[in-house]
Chains A and B, each alone.
Chain A
Amino acid sequence: MYKYDTYDQTLVDARVADFGDQVARRLSGEMTEDQFKPLRLMNGLYLQLHAYMLRVAIPYGTLDSRQMRMLGSIARDYDRGYGHFTTRQNLQFNWIKLEDTPEILAKLATVEMHAIQTSGNCIRNISSDQYAGAAADEVGDPRPWAELLRQWSSFHPEFSYLPRKFKIAVIGAEQDRAAIQLHDIGLQMRRDDAGELGFRVLVGGGMGRTPMIGSVIRDFIPAADLLSYVEACLRVYNRYGRRDNIYKARIKILVHELGAPEYARQVEEEWTHVKTLGLDPPQAEYDRIAAFFAPPAFAEGLPTEIDRSDAGFAHWVDQNTAAHKAAGYAIVTVSLKPTGGIPGDATADQIDLIADLAERYSFDEMRITHSQNVVLPHVQRQDLRAIWDALVAAGLATANLDLVTDIIACPGLDYCSLANARSIPVAQKITERFADPDRQRDIGELKLKISGCINACGHHHAGHIGILGVDRKGEENYQLSFGGSAAEDTSIAKIIGPGFSEDGVVDAVEKAVETYRGLREPGERFLDTYRRVGLQPFKAAIYGDAGSTTPVREPVA
């Protein structure tokens, strides 16, 4: 893992002092709320429905046990005992007092953490593959590049007042676990024909109210030129991105209106100039950062066989662990999606427990996933049973990774001032409806994502099944869409028809799942069957053959 040197620490400490000063000026009335807002947002502080929410950056989702325990401690001392892991691989505290925030930031700084640029119209936390450095299918490790991008984007003087927020994701594998096609900039490491390392650059993806898939604007930028090229991408956006309408201000609209080839041409022209400015760090800086991400000292000669006689344990191993590049190791995903729970929430005690497990069994390292779970990236297979036992005792052993109950959901109207509808209760009801583990396993991979408004923080556009909560004449109403994906086969889900009540949408999901089970061919996921057969059979099952909105049956208790 990356460790701060005195430069990094000094800059984060300076930001704590800066923000303390800003809060004092706000509390004294020297600054208006309107003036304070962009400053607090650039420190991750939102005013929500009931309280301030503080979003803490977890750069590319990577953290150690000391940092994780600090999050637990803040949850205990300043929140109501919970932390909420987000789809941007960050953590949010939902019950924060404004006057406590400078102290919280000071505590975070003691463990090399901060809330810099976790909100605001600036470059946000760089996200990445949660299996980086552990996956078997990597061209290279994306984390050193993510760290270079983190430093380059921190306090960037030209790009702190962009038209809108800006999200960059970087991966080093063929399999896309970070949704790069749905980011403002997506970067995929690759090698050219000569074996040189570089990146494919996608621009203009995003969800929100106008979902778009990113366009490849350059198939290969040499790694040594990455930062200057991204600088050129941002400069074209900062100068020409729309500022007349907040809903058209993301870069995807600029790329769409210009056309990707014309945007790419402007970037190339700008880059011809920008690359002469010496903005790219030298190889030595990359080497310095990459050394922090050298593979840990994996033991050799480890047993790979494990005792699978306990069926619950065996199911968890099958579902929640992934292949590791080192023999005898596994990648463990700790699910934060228990039946009836709030997706992504963890108690302070659970946070501490996961930190303990990481310290003891995973080279003191964890990753937060965009699906709101926690990964222990480097675990010996012979330790899986001990880890599972500890997780069972803490209510963290739900064996549902990528299954129908592994739901992404935004905080929704329970917390968010933008929401039109609640997301959490829908997620809770769906996990209860599909609680039977055998049934979930039989259904197989099914990514279900719920947003409480069209801003799409719950990624409903990218769900195999997506649910969007809207306000219809003062009533919460839920639109259902099928066919989305955030993986390497990225697609945008399509709305299937009229919306439903909260219970109605749970029933409709169940009908869709049963329709899939009736139609699937061997090996097909829900998404595959839907893509093969189309919407019609699902629509008929859900709405009736006439396509009417006949109420669907109540579940049998």
Chain B
Amino acid sequence: MIRFRDDVAHDAPPAPLAEFVGESNATAVRLEPTDDARALLPHLDRLALIEVAFPKFRDGRGYSAGRILREAGYLGELRAQGDLLVDQIPLMRRCGFDSFVPDVPVDEAALARTLDRYPNVYQKAADGRSPVWALRHG
């Protein structure tokens, strides 16, 4: 697992969304691409881990799920799991993901290079970076 958090990783397996909603004490949940991330909004304060499934790297629904959760104020661990390519991880970081469990381990050197590559961003997302239009106008 690649992790960009200092707290201790949640070790219990996340529950599927349908189970989670019915269990008042669960603190971890897993979203499949067809699940609506907004179903979690009433429960964010009790969640420590939200795992978002990326069964195929081409399926980009989870990027929206990540941003929606962060935009709603979720501060816990947001994990991407599945068919993750090294070049996708910087985009996922921008959408608020802070831990990654790729099916196939990624080359850490290549990941470090790609994460460092873009010094600026053109648009606001869920990572708090200021877009260049904000930098241009102080």
Using CB atoms, name the residue of chain A closest to B137: A284
Residue from A11, A21, A152, A238 within 8 A of B118 (CB atoms): A11
Residues of the B chain whose Cβ atoms lie less than 8 Å from the Cβ of A151: 122-123, 132-133
Within the complex, what minimum Cβ distance (angstroms) separates A44 from chain B?
16
- B63 touches A (CB below 8 Å): yes
Residues of the A chain whose Cβ atoms lie less than 8 Å from the Cβ of B124: 277-279
Interface size class of A (residues with CB under 8 A): 35 or more
Residue from B33, B117, B134, B137 within 8 A of A17 (CB atoms): B117
Using CB atoms, name the residue of chain A closest to B119: A10
Q: Contact mask B80-93 → A, CB, 8 Å, 1/0?
A: 00000101101110
In the complex where A121-B58, A238-B61 touch, is A11 in contact with B114 (Cβ < 8 A)?
Answer: no
| Complex Cα gap A11–B118 (Å) | 6
Within the complex, what minimum Cβ distance (angstroms) separates A112 from chain B?
15
Interface size class of B (residues with CB under 8 A): 35 or more
Which B97-122 residues have C-beta < 8 A from chain A? 107, 110, 113-114, 117-122
- A136 touches B (CB below 8 Å): no
Judging by beta carbons under 8 Å apart, are A18 and B114 in contact? yes
Within the complex, what minimum Cβ distance (angstroms) separates A160 from chain B?
6
In the complex where A14-B119, A154-B122 touch, is A5 in contact with B136 (Cβ < 8 A)?
Answer: yes
Judging by beta carbons under 8 Å apart, are A38 and B119 in contact? no
Residues of the B chain whose Cβ atoms lie less than 8 Å from the Cβ of A285: 133, 136-137
In the complex where A11-B120, A21-B110, A238-B60 touch, is A157 in contact with B137 (Cβ < 8 A)?
Answer: no
- A247 touches B (CB below 8 Å): no
- B71 touches A (CB below 8 Å): yes
Residues of the A chain whose Cβ atoms lie less than 8 Å from the Cβ of B90: 157
Q: Contact mask A22-45 → B, CB, 8 Å, 1/0?
A: 100100001000010011000000
- A239 touches B (CB below 8 Å): yes
- B95 touches A (CB below 8 Å): yes
| Complex Cα gap A62–B135 (Å) | 26
Judging by beta carbons under 8 Å apart, are B136 and A21 in contact? no
- B67 touches A (CB below 8 Å): yes
Residue from A22, A35, A160, A284 within 8 A of B60 (CB atoms): A160
Judging by beta carbons under 8 Å apart, are A158 and B64 in contact? yes
| Complex Cα gap A92–B57 (Å) | 27
- B125 touches A (CB below 8 Å): yes
Residue from B87, B88, B94 within 8 A of A22 (CB atoms): B87
Judging by beta carbons under 8 Å apart, are B125 and A157 in contact? yes
A contact residues vs B (CB 8 Å cutoff): 5, 7-8, 10-11, 14, 17-18, 21-22, 25, 30, 35, 38-39, 121, 151-152, 154-163, 235, 238-239, 243, 273, 277-279, 281-282, 284-285, 288
A–B complex contacts, Cβ < 8 Å, 7 sampled? A7-B136, A25-B110, A152-B123, A158-B67, A158-B91, A159-B63, A160-B60
- A-B pairs, 3 with minimum CB distance: A161-B60, A157-B94, A281-B133
